[in-house]
C-alpha cells in the first residue's frame, strides 16, 4: 500500500513532451483560478489515504498545494458535465489523460460541454497499444483465469482474435460472459459519454424486467449499439464491471464498424459525428427508405 | 457552485464497499464506487450505485412513529424509547425473557452489534440473538 501511495504522488509528465512536475501543475492551476480564467478546477487530492476527485476554487486556493495527479482514474469529465448542467456558464479546469480528452471531444460534439468553458492540463495516461509507457496502473490487464479462457472471452483479446472462434463457439462464449451480468448498470453509470435522460436499458418494452441475468444478449447488445460513435475506449465500464464482462472489446468492434462505414474515429476530434445531425451543418445524405 | 466528494461505506449490506457521495450545493446527487477501496476495487452492485436515493427519498422517516389508535403518529425520541422500554418490560414480566428476540444487523458496526447482544443477554436476559445476514 505504501509503495502504491508513493506511486500516486510521483511527478507526472505532460503530453506536449515537456517534462513537468506536480509543482508546475499546481502553479498553473493557481494562476488560472487567480486570473479568473477558470472558476473551478477538477483534480485529485489525497483524502483518508485515497486519491479522490477534488474541486478546487478561489475559496480553497490553499488546497491546490495538495493537488496530485491521482492514478485512480475517475471520470472527471462526467463530473464536469453534471456541474455544467447545473451552472452552464461556469468555467471548468480539468486534469485530463488521453481518454479524458477523447471523452471531452465526444461531449463537445454532443453539446454536453462547451469547449470555450473548458481548460485542460494533460497528464501521461494508461498503457495501451499506442502508448507503452504510462503512469496509470489501473488498466494493466488482469490475466484471464483458466475457466474463463476455456468457456468465455479473455478481456485482453483483440477483436480479430475474438472473431477467430467459429460462429457457434463465439456465440456460446459471449453468452457465458453476458450470463454473469447482475444488471448493476455500472457500465452505463460510470460511462463518461452516457448522458441521456432516458435510457433504453431501463425501458421495460425494449428489455424485459424482473430476472437476473437481464434479457441476454439484448441488454448488452442494445448498449453496444448505442456505443457506436460514442465509445472512446477508456475502459471505465470494464473496470466497473463486477463480473468482468469484456465490454471494452465489444464496443471496440462496434466502433470499428463505425469507422469502416463512416470513416469516423470516435473522440479524436470535436468535429461532426455521423450520428449527430443537430450540428451547424448536416453532412450526411439520408438514404431512401 | 459548490461540489464535494465525500468518501463513505455502503450501508446496504455487510460487505462494506467503499463509495463516494457527490454533493452539489449541499444536495446529495450521486454515488460512485471508490476505485482504490480494498473491498470493492471500483465496483458496486445496483443498490450501491443508488445509495444516495435512500438518503434523499421522500419516503425516508425523519422522526420516530408510535402507533396510537391504530395509526402511526410522529413522536419524539424520548417518547419512542419510553414506549419501547415499557412494552418490552411488560412482555418480559408477563411471558419471561425468552419471549423476546433481538435481531442485529450487518449494516451496523461491530461495536453496535456487541451492544445489541449485550442488551439481549444482560438486560433482557435471553440468548435469542440473531443476525440479518442469517435471515
Cβ distance A182 to B46 less than 8 Å, yes or no, reads yes
Cβ distance A86 to B24 less than 8 Å, yes or no, reads yes
Confidence category of residue B109, pLDDT binned at 50, 70, 90? confident
The larger pLDDT score, comparing residue A54 to residue A139, is at A54
Q: Which residue has the cell 480494498?
A: B38
Mean pLDDT of all residues in chain B? 92
Domain ranges of chain A: 6-122, 146-262
Has residue A11 got a pLDDT over 70? no
Cell of residue A56, nine digits? 478546487
Return the residue of A nearest to B40 by Cα.
Answer: A242
The larger pLDDT score, comparing residue A9 to residue A109, is at A109
For residue A234, give Cα distances in angstroms to A67, A246, A249: 23, 13, 11
Return the residue of B nearest to A182 by Cα.
Answer: B45
User: pLDDT tens across A50-73, in order?
Assistant: 999 999 999 988 899 888 887 788
The CATH code of the domain at B3-56 is: 2.20.25.90
- The pLDDT value recorded for residue A55 is 92
Domain ranges of chain B: 3-56, 61-95, 96-135
Cβ distance A72 to B43 less than 8 Å, yes or no, reads no
- The pLDDT value recorded for residue A5 is 47
Supply the pTM of this predicted model.
0.81
Counting residues of chain A whose pLDDT is more than 70, the rounded percentage is: 83
Cβ distance A86 to B34 less than 8 Å, yes or no, reads no
What ipTM is given for this predicted complex? 0.82
Q: Best interface-test mutation with A: which of B32, B52, B53 has the largest number of A CBs within 10 A?
A: B32
Confidence category of residue A129, pLDDT binned at 50, 70, 90? low
- In this prediction, residues A78-100 reach a mean pLDDT of 91
**Contact between residue A102 and residue A234 where contact means Cβ atoms under 8 Å apart:** yes
Partner residue facing B7 (CB), from A40, A48, A87: A48
Cβ distance A87 to B35 less than 8 Å, yes or no, reads no
- B-chain CB neighbours of A240 within 8 Å are 33, 42-44
Cβ distance B1 to A53 less than 8 Å, yes or no, reads no
User: pLDDT tens across B32-58, in order?
Assistant: 999 999 999 899 999 999 999 988 899
Sign of CA dihedral B78, B81, B85, B88: positive
Q: How far apart, in whole angstroms, are the C-alpha atoms of residue A183 and residue B123?
A: 44
Partner residue facing A51 (CB), from B29, B36, B43: B36
The larger pLDDT score, comparing residue B45 to residue A274, is at B45
Has residue A15 got a pLDDT over 50? no
- The pLDDT value recorded for residue A8 is 44
Q: How far apart, in whole angstroms, are the C-alpha atoms of residue B40 and residue A266?
A: 31
Amino acid at each position: 500500500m505504501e509503495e502504491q501511495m508513493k506511486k500516486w504522488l510521483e511527478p507526472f509528465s505532460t503530453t506536449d513532451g515537456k517534462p513537468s512536475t506536480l509543482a508546475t501543475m499546481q502553479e498553473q492551476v493557481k494562476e488560472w483560478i487567480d486570473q479568473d480564467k477558470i472558476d473551478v478546477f477538477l483534480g485529485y487530492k489525497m483524502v483518508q489515504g485515497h486519491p479522490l476527485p477534488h474541486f478546487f476554487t478561489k475559496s480553497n486556493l490553499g488546497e491546490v498545494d495538495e493537488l496530485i495527479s491521482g492514478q485512480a482514474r475517475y471520470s472527471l469529465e462526467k463530473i464536469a458535465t453534471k456541474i455544467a448542467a447545473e451552472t452552464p456558464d461556469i468555467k471548468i479546469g480539468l486534469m485530463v489523460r488521453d481518454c479524458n480528452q477523447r471523452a471531452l471531444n465526444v461531449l463537445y460534439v454532443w453539446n454536453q460541454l462547451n469547449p470555450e468553458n473548458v481548460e485542460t492540463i494533460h497528464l501521461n495516461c494508461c498503457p495501451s497499444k499506442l502508448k507503452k509507457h504510462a503512469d496509470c496502473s489501473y488498466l494493466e490487464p488482469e490475466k484471464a483465469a483458466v475457466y474463463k479462457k476455456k468457456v468465455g472471452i479473455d478481456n485482453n483479446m483483440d477483436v480479430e482474435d475474438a472473431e477467430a472462434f467459429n460462429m457457434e463457439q463465439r456465440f456460446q462464449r459471449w453468452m457465458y460472459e453476458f450470463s454473469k451480468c447482475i444488471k448493476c448498470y455500472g457500465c452505463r453509470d460510470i460511462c463518461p459519454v452516457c448522458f441521456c435522460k432516458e435510457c433504453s436499458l431501463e425501458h421495460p418494452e425494449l428489455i424485459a424486467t424482473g430476472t437476473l441475468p437481464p434479457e441476454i444478449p439484448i441488454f448488452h447488445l442494445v448498449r453496444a449499439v448505442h456505443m457506436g460513435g460514442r465509445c472512446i475506449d477508456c475502459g471505465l465500464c470494464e473496470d466497473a464491471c463486477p463480473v468482468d464482462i469484456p465490454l471494452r472489446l465489444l464496443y471496440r468492434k462496434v466502433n470499428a464498424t463505425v469507422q469502416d462505414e463512416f470513416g469516423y474515429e470516435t473522440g479524436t476530434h470535436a468535429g461532426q459525428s455521423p450520428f449527430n445531425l443537430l450540428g451547424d451543418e448536416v453532412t450526411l445524405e439520408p438514404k431512401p427508405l | 457552485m459548490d461540489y464535494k466528494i465525500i468518501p463513505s461505506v455502503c450501508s446496504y449490506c455487510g460487505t462494506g464497499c467503499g463509495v463516494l457521495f457527490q454533493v452539489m450545493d449541499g444536495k446529495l446527487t450521486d454515488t460512485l464506487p471508490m476505485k482504490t477501496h480494498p473491498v470493492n476495487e471500483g465496483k458496486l452492485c445496483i443498490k450501491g450505485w443508488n445509495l444516495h436515493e435512500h438518503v434523499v427519498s421522500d419516503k425516508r422517516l425523519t422522526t420516530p412513529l408510535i402507533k396510537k389508535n391504530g395509526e402511526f403518529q410522529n413522536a419524539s425520541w424520548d417518547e419512542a424509547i419510553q414506549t419501547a422500554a415499557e412494552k418490552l418490560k411488560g412482555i418480559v414480566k408477563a411471558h419471561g425473557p425468552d419471549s423476546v428476540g433481538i435481531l442485529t444487523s450487518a449494516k451496523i458496526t461491530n461495536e453496535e452489534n456487541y451492544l445489541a447482544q449485550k442488551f439481549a443477554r444482560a438486560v433482557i436476559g435471553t440468548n435469542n440473538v440473531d443476525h440479518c445476514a442469517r435471515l
